Amino acid sequence: MHLLVCGGTGCRASESNLILESLKRELEEKGLSSEVQVIMTGCFGFCEKGPVVKVMPDNTFYVHVKPEDAGIIVAEHVIKGRPVQRLLYVDPKSKEQVPDSKHMGFYRKQIRIALRNCGFINPENIDEYIARDGYASLGKCISELTPADVIDIIKKSGLRGRGGAGFPTGLKWEIASKNKADQKYVVCNADEGDPGAFMDRSVLEGDPHSVLEAMTICGYAIGASKGLIYIRAEYPLAIHRLKIALKQSKEYGLLGKNIFGTDFNFDIELRYGAGAFVCGEETALISSMEGRRGEPTNKPPFPAEKGFFGKPSNVNNVETFANIPVIISKGWEWFSSIGTEKSKGTKVFALAGKINNVGLIEVPMGTTLREIIFEIGGGIKNGKKFKAVQTGGPSGGCLTEKHLDTPIDFDNLVAAGSMMGSGGMIVMDEDDCMVSIAKFFLAFTVEESCGKCAPCRVGNKRLLELLTHITKGNGTMADIDRLKNMCNVIKDTSLCGLGQTSPNPVLSTINNFMDEYVAHVTEKRCPAGSCRELMKYSIIVDKCVGCTACARGCPVNAISGERKGPHFIDQEKCIKCGACFEKCKFGAVLIK
């Protein structure tokens, strides 16, 4: 028997280490320490009900455990085999006690569809994929369904593109299928470029066959015989595993001519990108694949009409494809039963930033930010206060405390002034300056703008200059208005999605954190204390003992004072490097 005590940050803060010790002591007293082991584990993600203790192998889950409960757990559960009723988790809906963790709603918060095989099968072995019903959906499509049936299933499932914009996948396939041509293409967009998003890489590295199978199904549905995966060369392992997967499925005849003995032919090739953000935009992606500069073009014509070398092409993102085989095998009814009214299924999110459990999660659409950040993500690092979360990467916006209980789906995020994007979630705490955050994302888009249209090329650059101005304490209230105006012009007049969304981080931080912008320009103060130019270092005379450590450490000789007498910082000379603050052993250096 094992007793697992949660050692996550939240539970540790409420003395789970004392619980561990008390349990060990109780077991020792009863002479059971050789048979029952007490182990501290990582975060159960159930921090709200912490500290938690789980008993194995019967999966009994105790919540709000106190060190003094150790006695009763050992006496009742370990010795007599009776769960301690009062410590069991009570389901908030049914008001009933839940005997084991398998029946807890909490553990159904994450459902893995796109990630179903990631971390479970060996991605370099096609047989393991087949053992998990791989390629059975392809077989079903080719031998039992017409292309129109397949499109109908995908349409009814309600699947929307996971790359960012959320366009209905079935509709996209239908348009591509109706355009007549001697050659059509299925294109997989694996040009994942949002800072902080890595779900597509994980799918390709963990389950490459699911994408190959889905592309082949798509080829059958739209009448294409050729597939292309556009992947960035910065993903060498994903490329390596894709190559192995391609070789294996060709050997099995799952790609190539006469698949499953029918007259359907389909083949897939890889195309490498150099890692430009704009190439995630489908027209730019196609230009790049054709060997030209990765620049977007006007839509229409859409790729479904005129795509790769002028032929109808259907472009879907990796995660979108990863959902397809499951929709075919389990049916559209099953898939559309998950999620919200207009956003079906699940979404993979990459949690990053100031959050305890940085990682990849997959939750049904409609899960709230609070559930994602505080339950699955284990809350904010170092017990700091939550401030905002940036969704949708540099094209998205930041959401705040007031959005924590909004169910997340494509439409709600747009209504809240952000977007789904590819599913990056960067969590910020009270130490993050929102003006600097906007500046960070804008610096990224300025770097990644292809330069084809003026609003994006010139406008974003000017935005960045204004933001830099403000973070240095040189801004005025008029600058904030100028920022807003310019943002709207860039949004309205840019050619592609990159420019149309790049001002979002600026607009959403102005909307949600206007007070921080105002503090920067009127008081020349950074409320989060992160803008270096606005910080002021001074020495508290009463605390200074005159040890001269700060003066010796100052690289610009800005500190003066006699030995054993109080020291002073010359604000004109100070470069705000913080060396004096680190050197002072008496806490006499004050940062404001």
Partner 1 sequence: MEKLKSLADLKRIREEAKTKLDLRVRGDNPEGLVQVKVAMATCGIASGAKQTMDFFVEELDKRGIGAVVTQTGCMGYCYAEPTVEVQLPGQESVVFGYVDRKKADEIIEKYIKNGELVEGIIPVNYEKID
Site for partner 1 in 212-241 (CB under 8 A): 235-238
- Judged by phi (left if over 0) then psi (alpha if -120 to 50, else beta), residue 525 lies in beta
Cα separation of 250 and 117, whole Å? 21
Which position among 86, 96, 97, 143 is part of the footprint of partner 1 (CB under 8 A)?
A: 143
Minimum CB distance to partner 1, residue 299 (Å)? 33
Nearer to partner 1, 206 or 475 (CB): 206
Distance separating alpha carbons of residues 442 and 418, to the nearest angstrom: 15
> Is residue 537 within 8 Å of 576, Cβ to Cβ?
yes
Query: Please, where are the H alpha helices in 263-350?
Result: 282-289, 318-330, 332-336
For residues 362 and 516, which CB has a smaller minimum distance to partner 1 in the complex? Answer: 362
- Residue 199 CB, nearest distance to partner 1 (Å)? 9
Q: Binding to partner 1 by residue 110, rule CB under 8 A? A: yes
Nearer CB in complex with partner 1: 184/241? 241
Q: Which is nearer to partner 1, 121 or 534 (CB)?
A: 121
* One residue of 68, 124, 333, 405 binding partner 1 per CB under 8 A: 124
Q: Binding to partner 1 (CB under 8 A): which residues in 41-70? A: 41-46, 54, 56-57
| Residues 64, 86 contacting (CB under 8 angstroms) | no
Report the residue from 48, 128, 430, 479 that binds partner 1 according to the rule CB under 8 A.
128
Q: Which of 196, 113, 192 is nearest to 363 (CA)?
A: 113
User: If binding means CB under 8 A, how many residues of this protein chain bind partner 1?
Assistant: 73
420: left (phi over 0), alpha (psi -120 to 50) or beta: alpha
CA distance 433 to 295: 33
Candidates 9-17, 68-76, 120-128, 419-427; binding stretch for partner 1 (CB under 8 A): 120-128
Nearest to 48 by CA among 334, 340, 378, 322: 378
CB of 251 to partner 1, least distance (A): 4
The first and second tokens of residue 48, run together, are 């709200």
Interacting residue with partner 1 among 198, 277, 321, 332 (CB under 8 A): 198
If we measure between CA atoms, which residue out of 319, 308, 490 comes closest to residue 421?
Answer: 319
| Cα separation, 298 vs 28, whole angstroms | 74
Measured over the CA atoms of residue 317, residue 321, residue 327 and residue 330, the dihedral's sign is: negative
Q: Which is nearer to partner 1, 20 or 187 (CB)?
A: 20
Q: For partner 1, which residue of 119, 301, 383, 565 counts as binding (CB under 8 A)?
A: 119
Number of Cα atoms under 13 Å in the Cβ half of residue 147: 15
Give SS3 for 432. Answer: coil
Choose one: 185-193, 205-213, 417-425, 563-571; the region binding partner 1 (CB under 8 A): 205-213
Dist CA 375 CA 363 (whole Å): 12
Binding residues among 3-22 for partner 1 as defined by CB under 8 A: 4, 6-7
CB 93 within 8 A of CB 78: no
458 touching partner 1, by CB under 8 A: no
Options 134-142, 273-281, 395-403, 414-422: segment touching partner 1 (CB under 8 A) = 134-142
At its nearest, how many Å lie between partner 1 and the CB of residue 404?
Answer: 20
Map residues 522-561 to x or -, x wherever contact with partner 1 holds by CB under 8 A. Answer: ----------------------------------------
Note whether 353 binds partner 1 by CB under 8 A: no
Task: For partner 1, give the closer residue by CB, 135 or 277.
Answer: 135
Span 285-344, contacts to partner 1 by CB under 8 A: 326, 330
Q: Does 270 bind partner 1 (CB under 8 A)?
A: no
Can residue 246 be called a binding residue for partner 1 (CB under 8 A)? Answer: no
